[in-house]
Amino acid sequence: MTQIKNIIIAVAILTGLSSQALAASASGTTNVSVRVPEFIVLHYFSAITMNFDAPAAESLNEGSDDVNADWNGATDGNGLDAQSLMSASLELDGTATTVKLQNVWAVRGFSTSGNAKITITAANDTMSNGDSRIKVSNIKVSDGAQSGSSITTKLNGIAKDRATTGGIEMDLDFSNTTRAGSHTGAQYTITATTI
């Protein structure tokens, strides 16, 4: 019985030793990196038509007037004076009308800073309809937090649902506008640059 016991112990020791002798392992650690390129997407409208609303007509009763008339048809007396006319529902006093176009551009992408520079320039600053003119000036881009001819804004990555959207502000001078209908010809250029 002692001999069987010694054989069992010897087999157990050999089995344990042989399992340890056959098992080997090695491991290593790998550093992983990704090089993301600079990439920018600018979304914009290639044409914008602003449709201003105004009443089709308006009559303003300026009261009554007494004039002197002779038998030859000549008259004199008080008349309407352009400086003292009643105000209509649409009044443009020669100053510019500031128009704010909301959400007319969007930008997304990757840059080394995570930001982009957005600039705007007026390629042509006059709209016309025959000899009737509308002058565009003081054109700016805005992202809700800032505005100017050039701004720095966040890119927020490449996902469409995280794009930064913005607007454009401009002054329109109607002082040389004499015709109804479409006035065309003004253009602006918006540029997005990674920074």
The reply to whether 110 falls in a domain is yes
User: Given this model, what pLDDT does residue 31 score?
Assistant: 95
SS3 at position 6:
helix
pTM of the entire predicted model? 0.74
Q: How far apart (Å, rounded) are the C-alpha atoms in residues 142 and 168?
A: 6
Query: Is-contact 37 110, C-beta < 8 A?
Result: yes
Q: In one letter, which amino acid is 164?
A: T
* Residue 169 belongs to domain with CATH number: 2.60.40
pLDDT beyond 60 at 26:
yes
Number of Cβ within 10 Å of residue 189's Cβ equals 12
The reply to whether 15 falls in a domain is no
Mean predicted confidence (pLDDT) in 12-27: 69
Q: How far apart (Å, rounded) are the C-alpha atoms in residues 141 and 136?
A: 14
> What confidence tens digit (pLDDT) does each residue in 58-87 have?
787 777 778 888 888 888 877 777 777 777
Q: In one letter, which amino acid is 19?
A: S
pLDDT band per the 50, 70, 90 thresholds, residue 16: low
Residue 63 is given by DSSP the state -
The reply to whether 140 falls in a domain is yes
Q: How many structural domains is the chain composed of? A: 1
pLDDT band per the 50, 70, 90 thresholds, residue 52: confident
User: Given this model, what pLDDT does residue 75 score?
Assistant: 83
The reply to whether 147 falls in a domain is yes
The reply to whether 151 falls in a domain is yes
> What confidence tens digit (pLDDT) does each residue in 102-158 have?
999 999 999 999 999 999 999 999 999 999 999 999 999 999 999 999 999 999 999
pLDDT beyond 60 at 17:
no
Residues of the chain above pLDDT 70, percent: 88
Query: Is-contact 109 36, C-beta < 8 A?
Result: no
Residues contacting 137, CB < 8 A, separation 6+: 96, 122, 125, 170, 171, 173
The reply to whether 143 falls in a domain is yes
DSSP string, 116-166: EEEEEEEEE-EEEETTEEEEEEEEEEE-SS-EESEEEEE--BS-GGG-EEE
The reply to whether 69 falls in a domain is no
- Calculate the alpha carbon distances from 78 to 75, 87, 158, 180 in Å: 10, 19, 69, 31
The reply to whether 108 falls in a domain is yes
Domain of residue 173 covers: 39-50+92-194
How many CA atoms does the CB half-sphere of 132 hold within 13 Å? 10
